[in-house]
């Protein structure tokens, strides 16, 4: 599978021609070996299912059961979910993820696109407010919102990153740095005062936040480090230095869920490994813990 490029000033970017179908929001998601890497990816996906008109899910070549769980999600919601198998092809600068996301962007027909990442949860209240903000943003192409770095051992917000996961479906929309940097066309300067993203005009919103649960399953942390440093960004000195910390003791496990942990994730607090629970495929259970009809 391939997608088209335009080249300007020796910089390639995604050639994206927009065709809309009247729907509001499509979610795009790509992952590989989420289970061994400790990503609560099923929770991330099913949390936003009620709010997306379509979900485009890509597996990059998983060997740990991740792909089979994506197929189960599609089996539950066949009219809403599509599965793709665009493999990892590059090992530097997050290019595999960008290649996959740009391929999915080219298949989007909704007015807005929401990039879902495997360790980011948009719980019920935040999802409701996201949809409200979209309907108030007719004159904007992107929403800048908070992504809160959290873990299972503290009530603290370790970092509040003002980022974008929600962008309008505009011509030549392009993903850079593994979905952490959307631009129209080639990657140029970002908005003044920010290091990432340039999809103007953008709107600052404060009514919803993504909850980013990073490295919460101690037994999965070493594989998370290895994949980032060797498979996705082997030229990134920061990721390499994190990998070299492998002699550090494992992070402590916790058994009591902080208040910020969404209901759909609370039972995983204190687990050494990430695993996919059967109740995540029970529509009645999902409706009960999220408060939304599936």
pLDDT digits over 25-71, tens only? Answer: 999 999 999 999 999 999 999 999 999 999 999 999 999 999 999 99
What's the confidence (pLDDT) of residue 7? 39
Is the pLDDT confidence value at 129 over 80? yes
pLDDT of residue 12: 62
Q: What is the pLDDT of residues 189-240, one digit of tens each?
A: 888 778 888 999 999 999 999 999 999 999 999 999 999 888 888 887 777 7
pLDDT in the model for residue 254: 66
With cut-offs at 50, 70 and 90, classify the pLDDT of residue 13. confident
* C-beta separation of 51 from 25 below 8 A: yes
Sorted by where each begins, the domain ranges of the chain are: 5-280
Q: Give the count of alpha carbons within 13 A of 221, CB side only.
A: 21
Please state the CATH superfamily assignment of the domain spanning residues 5-280 in this structure.
Spore Coat Polysaccharide Biosynthesis Protein SpsA; Chain A (3.90.550.10)
Q: Give me the chain's average pLDDT, please.
A: 90
Residue spans of alpha helices (H) in the chain = 34-37, 41-48, 66-76, 95-105, 124-135, 221-226, 237-243, 283-290
What is the spatial distance between Cα 266 and Cα 63, in angstroms, rounded to a whole number?
27
pLDDT above 90: percentage of residues in the chain:
77
3-state secondary structure (DSSP) of residue 274: coil
Residue 6 has a pLDDT of 42
21-27 average pLDDT score = 97
So what's the pLDDT on residue 128?
96
Q: Which residues contact 16 (CB under 8 A, 6 or more apart)?
A: 102, 105, 106, 170, 171, 172, 173, 174
pLDDT by residue (tens digit) across 103-127?
999 999 999 999 999 999 999 999 9
At residue 187 the predicted structure's pLDDT band, cuts being 50, 70 and 90, is: confident
Residue 248 above 70 pLDDT?
no
pLDDT tens digits for 150-168? 999 999 999 999 999 999 9
**Quick one: pLDDT at residue 122?**
96
Where would I find the beta strands (DSSP E) of 77-127? Answer: 81-84, 112-115, 120-121
Q: What is the pLDDT of residue 195?
A: 81
Predicted pLDDT of residue 1: 40
């Amino acid at each position: 599978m391939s997608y088209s490029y335009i080249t300007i000033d020796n910089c390639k970017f995604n050639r994206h021609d927009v065709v809309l179908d009247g729907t509001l929001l499509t979610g795009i998601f790509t992952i590989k070996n989420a289970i061994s890497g400790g990503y609560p990816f099923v929770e991330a996906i099913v949390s936003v299912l009620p709010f997306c008109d379509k979900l485009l899910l890509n597996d990059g070549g998983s060997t740990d059961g991740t792909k089979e769980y994506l197929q189960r999600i599609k089996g539950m919601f066949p009219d809403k979910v599509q599965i793709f198998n665009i493999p990892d092809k590059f090992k530097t600068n997050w290019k595999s993820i960008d290649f996959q996301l740009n391929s999915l962007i080219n298949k989007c027909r909704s007015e807005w696109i929401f990039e879902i990442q495997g360790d980011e949860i948009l719980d019920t209240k935040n999802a409701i407010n996201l949809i409200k903000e979209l309907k108030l943003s007719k004159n904007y192409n992107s929403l800048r919102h908070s992504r809160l770095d959290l873990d299972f051992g503290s009530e603290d917000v370790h970092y509040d990153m003002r980022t974008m996961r929600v962008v309008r479906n505009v011509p030549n929309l392009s993903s850079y740095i593994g979905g952490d940097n959307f631009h129209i066309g080639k990657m140029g300067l970002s908005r003044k005062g920010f290091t990432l993203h340039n999809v103007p005009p953008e709107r600052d919103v404060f009514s919803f936040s993504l909850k980013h649960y990073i490295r919460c399953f101690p037994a999965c942390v070493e594989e998370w480090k290895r994949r980032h440093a060797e498979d996705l960004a082997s030229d990134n000195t920061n990721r390499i230095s994190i990998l070299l910390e492998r002699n550090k003791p494992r992070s402590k496990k916790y058994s009591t869920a902080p208040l910020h942990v969404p209901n759909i994730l609370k039972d995983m607090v204190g687990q050494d490994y990430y695993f996919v629970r059967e109740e995540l495929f029970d529509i009645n259970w999902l409706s009960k813990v999220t408060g939304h009809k599936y």
